Each structure stands twice: as C-alpha cells, then as structure tokens.
C-alpha cells in the first residue's frame, strides 16, 4: 500500500504579488541607476541613489527637510481643506438647485480649462510672497475637482429616489442630508484622488516661482547652484511625501465611508 505524501502549498495573495512586483521594479531601477557606467549617466546631472539617500539623511539630521516639509504640507492641507469645503458646497448647491447650476456651471467649466499657473503672477500681486498666497492658490486649483464631484454626484441621483423623498415630505435640507451627500461620497473619493497630487503640484509650482520656504524652494535653491544631488533628493522626498499622504487620505476616507 503506497502512501501519498501531500506537498505543502503556499498561497500568495494577489495584493502581496502586486507589492512584490512593485518592489522588484523599484529595486531594478535603483540598481541600474546606481551601477550604470559614468559615460551613460552623468553624476553631475543626475547623481546616484546612495548620494541622494545620504543627502536626505543629512537634511533630516539638521532639521532642514522637516521645516521645508511642514511648510509645503501646510499649504497642501489647508488648501485642500478650504478648496474642498468651498468646492463641495457650491457643487452641492448647483447640483441640487438646477437654475443655479445652469448659471455657474458653464463659467466654472471654462475656468477649469485654463492653466492655473498663469494666475500665479496675479496671486503674487494680490497676496504677496507668503504662506497665505500658497494656501489660496492650492485652494483655487483643487476647488474645481470638488465642485464637479459634488455637482455630478447630485445631478446623478435617480429621479425615483428624489420623488420618494418628496412624497415622504422631506424638505430641501433633509433631502441633501439624507440623499444627496451620501450619494455623492463616491464622487468625492474620486475627486480626492485627483486633488491631492494636483495640490502638491500647485504648492511646489508656486514655491519654485515665489517663496521663502517649502520643498519647492529647496528644489529651486539646489538647482540654482547646480547641486544635482540636492535637487534629486528634494524631488524624491516630495514624491514619497505626496504618495504617502495620498494613500493615507484615501484609506481614511474609505474607512469612514464603510464605517458609517
């Protein structure tokens, strides 16, 4: 009688496989960057990963990177808050009261199509070189994402649901609280996914052009003295910071959605 020996099988989840694949891709890129011959990658223009990591740790140790990160994050977070509140409120109003939407939607669509960087000189003229200027510019950029999210979310509420609430005697504010805001939550998550990276782009853009601090200022000052290591280190830290903030914000928003 023969014994059948079952070999153990290991199951790897799809999310783990995806994480391993991303890690291997990043490791391969860093390895090529680090060990590429000098005649293919000019160190004075692109530096090396070990030098970039050393500069980041140096900036963390002396507090420079923390100070500049706080300045940029302040602009991004406050800009997202003010722009998100204003955009969500106006979008909800325009989506719920259709005459209001018919008036403001074409104008905001036209403004949304304009390159926002063209308004930076006006923001400098109006508000000077200050943190307030950075926050207001970021808020202006992200405002449109939240406006159109709430506007489309309110407009896509099924007519049968609206009629049901009307028949039950709900007033406008009850309809907004019970139906329109929950129905637009998925749209808001999509808006947040787009708004966070654009908020960082807006903050860095205005810091590069006119600022006294921030990661954009650090990029500008490093590139002005032809410091490739410093420039790449500031950009790498910015990418890590924006990715972490974006992923954390989405996770928290999704958890709040499902725990409601």
* Domain 49-258 coded CATH 3.20.20.10: no
Tell me the average pLDDT across 126-140. 88
Q: Domain spans of the chain?
A: 49-258
- Expressed in percent and rounded to 5, the helix, strand and coil fractions of the chain are 80, 0, 20
Residue 1: per-residue pLDDT: 45
Concatenating the DSSP letter of every residue in 102-158 gives HHHHHHHHHHHHS-GGGGHHHHHHHH-SSHHHHHHHHHHHHHHHHHHHHHHHHHTS-
pLDDT at residue 210 tops 70: yes
Q: Which of 11-15, 114-118, 217-221 has the lowest mean pLDDT?
A: 11-15
Reported as a single tens digit per residue, the pLDDT across 45-62 is 888 889 999 999 999 999
Tell me the average pLDDT across 229-250. 85
What separation, in Å, do the N-terminal and C-terminal C-alpha atoms of the chain show? Answer: 59
**How many other C-beta atoms can be found within 10 angstroms of the C-beta atom of residue 229?**
20
User: In whole angstroms, how far apart are CA 58 and each of 67, 90, 163, 196, 249?
Assistant: 13, 45, 63, 28, 28
Instruction: Kindly report the pTM of this predicted structure.
Output: 0.79
Tell me the average pLDDT across 218-234. 90
Residue 69: per-residue pLDDT: 92
Kindly tell me the sign of the dihedral angle through the C-alpha atoms of 125, 127, 129, 133.
negative
Look up residue 2 and give its DSSP letter: P
Residue 86: per-residue pLDDT: 94
CB 155 within 8 A of CB 101: yes
């Amino acid at each position: 009688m023969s014994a059948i020996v079952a070999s153990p099988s290991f199951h790897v989840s799809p999310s783990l496989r995806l994480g391993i694949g991303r890690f291997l891709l990043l490791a391969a890129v860093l390895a090529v960057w680090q060990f590429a011959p000098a005649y293919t990658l000019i160190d004075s223009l692109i530096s090396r990963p070990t030098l970039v990591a050393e500069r980041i740790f140096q900036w963390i140790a002396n507090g420079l990177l923390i100070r500049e990160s706080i300045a940029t994050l302040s602009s991004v977070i406050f800009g997202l808050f003010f722009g998100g509140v204003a955009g969500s409120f106006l979008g909800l109003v325009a989506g719920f009261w259709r005459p209001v939407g018919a008036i403001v939607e074409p104008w905001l669509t036209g403004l949304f199509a304009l390159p926002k960087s063209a308004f930076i000189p006006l923001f400098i003229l109006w508000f000077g070189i200050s943190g307030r200027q950075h926050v207001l510019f970021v808020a202006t950029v992200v405002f449109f994402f939240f406006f159109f999210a709430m506007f489309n979310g309110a407009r896509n509420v099924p007519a049968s649901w609206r009629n049901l609430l009307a028949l039950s005697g709900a007033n406008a504010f009850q309809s907004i609280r019970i139906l329109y805001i929950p129905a637009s939550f998925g749209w808001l998550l999509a808006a947040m996914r787009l708004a966070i990276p654009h908020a960082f782009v807006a903050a860095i853009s205005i810091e590069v052009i006119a600022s006294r601090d921030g990661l954009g200022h650090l990029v500008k000052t490093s590139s002005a003295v032809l410091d490739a290591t410093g420039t790449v280190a500031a950009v790498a830290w910015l990418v890590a910071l924006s990715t972490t903030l974006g992923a954390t914000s989405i996770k928290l928003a999704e958890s709040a959605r499902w725990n409601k």
